[in-house]
């Protein structure tokens, strides 16, 4: 009979870090030899529109995580399960062959991920499976209203979140090394060879460091040097006024809790206006994750507000392609889309402008934009991306009123007045100044020949939007 000594397993997912990792900490507390796994489900990722640049970031981060885990006496296995449905049997075989008694993992809240995890627990009937909350600084389900129901409006959620957070002010425990694997256990692991990701690492994400030291230093530097001016600089895409941490939050290379604790440490617990607003942005991420937990239909292409099903979307494929390529004839929209397509990242103000343009100027289903963003964003996070798109489309929880329609020209004039951002991404407009830069078609004789005529007239489309939403609401009430 083969010798199969007891060991335990930590399953890494969207939590690719050692610090503030509850699943890892719980495993280490047992003082049992430990291995770590990551399951690559590339077919499922493709179906979920996961961006290739984010997949590359994950691959590169895993190489660093492997080194970090090695320092804790924990080997990392990367397994291939093309689809989530393949995961339960694969883990069952792994646990059986290696004599794994406990499986630790941090929760994911999307519908397919929840279904996968439920099937894993069923399949691993002889293994103790424990799941923890690692994504949010306040555990999902802890922030409820007086009737013990989830909040549907951000402001009261924020107030309750802050109250809970400060009453239970968290700390982050230092990570200690695991008990070393025995020689027989090491021999058993030799049966498993690290999975080679489909294709080699492309370094598409090379602009983003995956070193834990660099990521943490980036967070600390922002909290120390830039967070106080966040409220003044965050809306201007030509300024590096944001934290640049969203890709790391998305893959879990750093946690929201780490960010928030560092912010308070740098501020000596006396947050300035800019720091308060950055904290609010982190709480918005928590709000959307909490909603995903309580309203699973959000993971299944459903809008939060039921009247949305009566909206008559135009869904013009040609105009959608022009939006995707940054060929709308509206400089701020086109520059933003070129930034996204080139770098895999887009400034937050521009995400609102481009989303509003797609939904309320082109009258194209917000889901098309949501999926396109996910297919391009290095910081694609389903809860935040879905919540943001529903907010812009006025069909989400505590979303912008439907009659609020961003004017792309005035947004451009306000947030990129000198055109520094626009000219960077649209060099054909370099010679333009003033209002002409933001609306080149206003003087056709002066408009560069190599720049497009606007594909719509905003004023007309705005009126159509008001009618479309009014009709949808009226139809919803009538039924």
Catalytic residue ranges: 281, 284, 313, 348, 366, 389
244 annotated ligand binder: yes
391 annotated ligand binder: no
Angle at 397 between CA 395 and CA 403, to 5 degrees: 45
411 annotated ligand binder: no
Q: Are 237 and 152 in contact (CB under 8 A)?
A: no
201 annotated ligand binder: no
| CA-based nearest residue to 118, from 150, 88, 162 | 88
246 annotated ligand binder: yes
Q: What is the CA radius of gyration of the chain?
A: 24
Question: Cβ–Cβ contacts within 10 Å for residue 297, how many?
Answer: 11
243 annotated ligand binder: yes
451 annotated ligand binder: no
Kindly provide the b/e burial profile for residues 244-268, where b requires at least 16 CB atoms within 10 angstroms of the residue's own CB.
bbbbbbbbbbbbbbbbbbbbbebbe
230 annotated ligand binder: yes
295 annotated ligand binder: no
Write the secondary structure of the chain as one string of H (helix), E (strand) and C (coil): CCCCCCEEEEEECCCCCCCCCHHHHHHHHCCCCEEEEEEECHHHHHHCCCCHHHHHHHHHHHHHHHHHHHCCCCCEEEEECCCHHHHHHHHHHHHHHHCEEEEEEECCCCHHHHHHHHHHHHHCCCCEEEEECCCCCCCCCCCCCCCCCCCCCHHHHHHHHHHHHHHCCCCCCCCCCCCCCCHHHHHHHCCCCCCCCCCCCCCCCCCCCCCHHHHHHHHHHHHHHHHHHHHHHCCCCCCCCCCCCHHHHHHCCCCHHHHHHHHHHHCCCCCCHHHHHHHHHHHHHHHHHHHHHHCHHHHHCCCCCHHHHHCCCCCCHHHHHHHHHCCCCCHHHHHHHHHHHHHCCCCHHHHHHHHHHHHHHCCCCHHHHHHHHHHHCCCCCHHHHHHHHHHHCCCCCCCCCCCCCCCHHHHHHHHCCCCHHHHHHCHHHCCCCHHHHHCHHHCCCCCCCCCCCCCCCHHHHHHHHHHHHHHHHHHHHHC
282 annotated ligand binder: yes
Instruction: Return d(Cα 269, Cα 260) in angstroms, integer.
Output: 10
Instruction: Return d(Cα 230, Cα 402) in angstroms, integer.
Output: 28
394 annotated ligand binder: no
415 annotated ligand binder: no
180 annotated ligand binder: no
245 annotated ligand binder: yes
Residue stretches of the annotated binding site for FAD: 230, 242-246, 278, 281-288, 379-381
Q: Which residues are annotated as part of the binding site?
A: 230, 242-246, 278, 281-288, 379-381
């Amino acid at each position: 009979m083969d010798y199969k000594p007891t060991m335990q397993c930590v399953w890494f997912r969207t939590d690719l870090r050692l610090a503030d990792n509850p699943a890892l900490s719980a495993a280490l507390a047992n003082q049992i030899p430990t291995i770590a796994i990551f399951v690559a489900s590339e077919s499922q990722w493709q179906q979920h529109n996961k961006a290739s640049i984010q997949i590359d970031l994950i691959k590169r981060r895993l190489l660093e995580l492997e080194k970090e885990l090695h320092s804790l006496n924990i080997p990392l296995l990367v397994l291939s399960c093309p689809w989530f449905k393949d995961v339960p049997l694969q883990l069952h075989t792994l646990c059986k062959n290696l004599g794994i008694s406990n499986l630790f993992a941090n929760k994911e809240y999307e519908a397919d991920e929840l279904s996968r995890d439920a099937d894993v627990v069923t399949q691993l009937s002889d293994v103790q499976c424990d799941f923890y909350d690692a994504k949010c600084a306040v555990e999902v389900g802890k922030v409820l209203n007086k009737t013990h129901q989830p909040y549907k409006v951000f402001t009261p959620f924020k107030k309750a979140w802050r109250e809970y957070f400060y009453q239970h002010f968290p700390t982050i425990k230092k990570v200690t090394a695991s008990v070393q694997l025995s020689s027989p256990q090491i021999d058993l692991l030799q049966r498993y060879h690290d999975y080679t990701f489909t294709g080699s690492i492309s370094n598409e994400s090379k602009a983003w460091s995956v070193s834990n030291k660099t990521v943490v230093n980036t967070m600390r530097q922002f909290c120390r040097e830039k967070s106080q001016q966040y409220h003044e600089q965050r809306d201007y895409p030509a300024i590096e006024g944001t934290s640049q941490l969203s890709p790391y939050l998305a893959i879990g290379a750093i946690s929201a809790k780490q960010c928030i604790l560092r912010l308070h440490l740098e501020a000596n617990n006396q947050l300035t206006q800019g720091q308060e607003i950055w904290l609010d942005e982190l709480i918005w991420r928590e709000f959307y994750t909490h909603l995903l937990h309580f309203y699973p239909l959000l993971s299944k292409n459903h809008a939060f507000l039921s009247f949305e099903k009566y909206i008559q979307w135009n869904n013009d494929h040609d105009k959608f392609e022009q939006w995707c390529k940054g060929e709308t004839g509206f400089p701020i929209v086109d520059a933003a889309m070129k930034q996204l397509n080139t770098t895999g990242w887009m400034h937050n103000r521009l995400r609102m402008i481009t989303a509003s343009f797609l939904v309320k100027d082109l009258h194209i289903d917000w889901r098309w934009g949501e999926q396109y963003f996910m297919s391009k964003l290095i910081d694609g996070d389903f809860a935040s991306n879905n919540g943001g798109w529903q907010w812009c489309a006025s069909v989400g929880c505590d979303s912008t009123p439907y009659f609020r329609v961003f004017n792309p020209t005035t947004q451009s004039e306000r947030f990129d007045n000198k055109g520094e951002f626009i000219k960077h991404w649209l060099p054909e407009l370099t010679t333009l100044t003033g209002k002409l830069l933001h609306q080149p078609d206003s003087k056709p004789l002066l408009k560069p020949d190599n720049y497009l005529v606007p594909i719509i007239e905003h004023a007309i489309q705005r009126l159509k939007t008001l009618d479309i939403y009014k009709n949808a609401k009226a139809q919803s009430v009538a039924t």
